[in-house]
């Protein structure tokens, strides 16, 4: 009888291993890994579509191309600036959401995540309505007599940074808030009881313990900024180029698929290296958050 019950339990036990993941892995392979493998293969062809021979000329061309290197550095600079701005602007908001008991907390939370409910195209076009030569800001300045003619507020690096910060700030705030909410307030109170002021308790207790959220938010914002296309293209007005816009031009405008695929592979390599570095940093922070 006992053996029968045990056998029935074994039959009713859920499957283990990779079997439950098979459907998800199949979808992931078809929708992600297969197109990625095709892109990598195209990057090693001399021509596509059409007959092409295996070659490394596109990689050699990009490594020695000063224009491509300048665009790469400009893209990395944009990603660093946007990530830094999101961190500076997002950490205080995240701290407020995690620590406040105000009844207006939900309004702040809705204000932060509301951009995620609107298409990125609509959000970007909204900045044109605000900062354009006939936009709200210039109209207000002109009516107040502060300027005699509209200011040139569009199509600059700064405008792109503002637009991207507006798009990606929620990811930084949510990443940090999730970690701050899990930190026991008793740790801060104990530090203050032992003589540390509020700022010192924050710098020596709260901030180190929240670094996992900071790292996660920075990785998300940085990697998404590297691949951003719509906002840099629209707010840059075609005057400023980054890796995503350059890849678009090579793939769909000049129809240089192998060269565009090579750029995409190099961009992917930079992103993967970033994720690997953040994983190492995250493990070190988890091991010793001080």
pLDDT of res. 287 = 62
pTM, rounded to two decimals: 0.81
Taking only the tens place, the pLDDT of each residue in 186-244 is 777 777 667 677 777 777 878 888 888 898 899 889 989 988 888 898 888 878 889 88
Sequence ranges of the domains in the chain: 66-287
Helices (H), the chain: 2-12, 22-28, 34-43, 57-63, 66-99, 105-113, 120-131, 136-143, 157-180, 185-193, 198-201, 207-209, 211-226, 230-236, 243-248, 257-287
Q: How far apart are CA 82 and CA 263, in angstroms?
A: 22
CA-closest candidate to residue 177, choices 187, 169, 166, 167: 169
* 97 contacts 177 by C-beta, under 8 angstroms: yes
Per-residue confidence (pLDDT) for residue 282, from 0 to 100: 67
Query: 66-287 is classed in which CATH architecture?
Result: Orthogonal Bundle (1.10)
Residue with tokens 């003619």: 149
Mean pLDDT check: name the lowest of 14-18, 76-80, 126-130, 153-157: 14-18
């Amino acid at each position: 009888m006992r053996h029968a019950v045990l056998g029935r339990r074994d039959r009713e036990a859920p499957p283990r291993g990779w079997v439950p993941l098979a459907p998800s892995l199949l979808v992931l392979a078809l929708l992600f890994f297969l197109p990625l493998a095709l892109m990598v293969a195209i990057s090693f062809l001399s021509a596509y579509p059409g007959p092409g021979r295996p070659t490394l000329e596109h990689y050699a061309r990009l490594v020695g191309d000063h224009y491509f290197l300048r665009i790469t550095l400009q893209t990395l600079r944009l990603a660093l600036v946007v990530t830094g701005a999101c961190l500076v602007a997002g950490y205080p908001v995240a701290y407020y959401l995690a620590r406040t008991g105000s009844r207006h907390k939900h309004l702040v939370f809705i204000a932060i995540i509301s951009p995620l409910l609107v298409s990125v195209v609509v959000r970007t076009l909204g900045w044109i309505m605000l900062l354009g030569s006939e936009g709200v800001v210039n109209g207000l300045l002109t009516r107040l007599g502060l300027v005699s003619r509209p200011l040139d507020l569009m199509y600059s690096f700064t405008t792109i940074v503002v637009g991207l910060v507006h798009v990606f700030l929620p990811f930084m705030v949510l990443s940090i808030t999730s970690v701050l909410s899990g930190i026991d307030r008793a740790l801060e109170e104990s530090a203050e009881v032992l003589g540390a002021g509020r700022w010192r308790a924050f710098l020596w207790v709260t901030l180190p313990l929240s670094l996992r959220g900071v790292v996660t938010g920075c990785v998300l914002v940085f990697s998404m900024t590297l691949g951003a296309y719509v906002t840099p293209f629209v707010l840059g007005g075609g005057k400023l180029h980054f890796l995503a816009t350059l890849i678009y031009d090579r793939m769909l405008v000049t129809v240089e698929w192998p060269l565009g695929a090579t750029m995409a592979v190099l961009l992917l390599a930079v992103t993967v290296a970033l994720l690997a570095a953040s994983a190492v940093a995250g493990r070190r922070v988890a091991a010793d958050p001080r």
